Structure 1
Amino acid sequence: MPKITPNLWFDKQAEEAAAFYIDVFRSGRIVNVTHYPEGTPGEAGTVMTVEWELDGQRFVGINGGPQFTFDEAVSFEIDCADQAEIDYYWERLTDGGRAGQCGWLTDRYGLSWQVVPGGMDALFADPDKSRAERAMRAMLKMGKLDVAALQRAADGEPVG
């Protein structure tokens, strides 16, 4: 099966963004940096592409100019082990970005993320439909997800 590598279009911040993501995820490395040659659309000598790796997943960032921007139609999901991980990624990725609803956020580069607890899909697929509905209603009122509050809501306990 071919390897799929997300290719992200930045205006001029691909190298800065790659360094930021490597710092946030505390694992990774810059794999390759290319520069625009003479006679191409970009300014000769400036960074054209950056290839980086996060926990074995490759990404490519291209400094393609302002024509295209990210939107919420595409996001990366972070499956977190616990509330501490949710808090960490939420804090780091909203720094310079903006918080959204239901665990979604947009980072300082305009890239969308979903910061979610592991097992959340099982909570919403609970065979007891009323548990799943209560958890869903609670989640719809949240920005950053609160694992304990979602569980309390599923159990029928007050969340507020």
Structure 2
Amino acid sequence: MATLQKITSNLWFDRQAEEAAKYYTSIFKNSKIGRITRYGKEGFEIHKMPEGTVLTVEFWLEGQQFLALNGGPLFKFNEAVSFVINCETQEEIDFYWNKLTQGGDEKAQQCGWLKDKFGLSWQVTPTILPDMLADKDSAKSESVMHAMMQMKKIDIAALKKAYSNQLQHH
């Protein structure tokens, strides 16, 4: 049995928990699916799930544990919670962006944020961005923020250009 981490993200799906876990583990390296539990007869009058339907799926992405729950249509994901994918290279950004936007909501793409086909929000973010935004030179950080606000998928080269063009002005 795998060791449980102290805090695990629980993702509520209508009935797509197993499909989602398989989808996410196919995208991220160092990923796997763990135990799958199923609904029994008990509680049917409340949960209305047929006996044998998947209840939960444990899965790991990059070593981070998640739990997918088939809880019915009562709750939906929204942008108040998102998962940040820290990317070292443009190739990484392109890979995750292209995989996770397939079938997703194109209207929800802005500043590196996207909403996947299950309605879950992700931030595909270059690891250099926080340092640029925290730069003590406000002209640099503002230039990077301005450039980022124009983007859907983050373009590292364009961020670096916005950052370095400010250097030439001082």
The TM tier, using the shorter chain, reads over 0.9
The answer to whether the 8 A contact 2:105-2:119 is kept is no
Structure 2 partner of 1:85: 92
Return 5+ residue gaps in structure 1 as ranges.
none
Q: 2:129 matched to 1:120?
A: yes
Aligned residue among 143, 148, 151 for 1:139: 148
SS at match of 2:60: strand
Structure 2 partner of 1:109: 118
TM-score scaled to structure 2, two decimals? 0.88
**How far apart in 2 are the matches of 1:24 and 1:148?**
24
Note the C-alpha offset of 1:55.
2.1
Identity of matched residues, %: 51
Give aligned pairs, total.
156
**How far apart in 1 are the matches of 2:154 and 2:31?**
26
Aligned residue among 48, 60, 77 for 1:53: 60
**How far apart in 2 are the matches of 1:70 and 1:50?**
17
More helix by share: 2
SS at match of 2:24: helix
Task: Show CA shifts across 1:33-92 (max 9, x none).
Answer: 000001322211110110111122110010000000000000000000110000000000
TM-score scaled to structure 1, two decimals? 0.94
Provide the aligned C-alpha RMSD in A: 1.2
**How far apart in 1 are the matches of 2:134 and 2:30?**
32
Return 5+ residue gaps in structure 2 as ranges.
none
**How far apart in 1 are the matches of 2:62 and 2:28?**
8
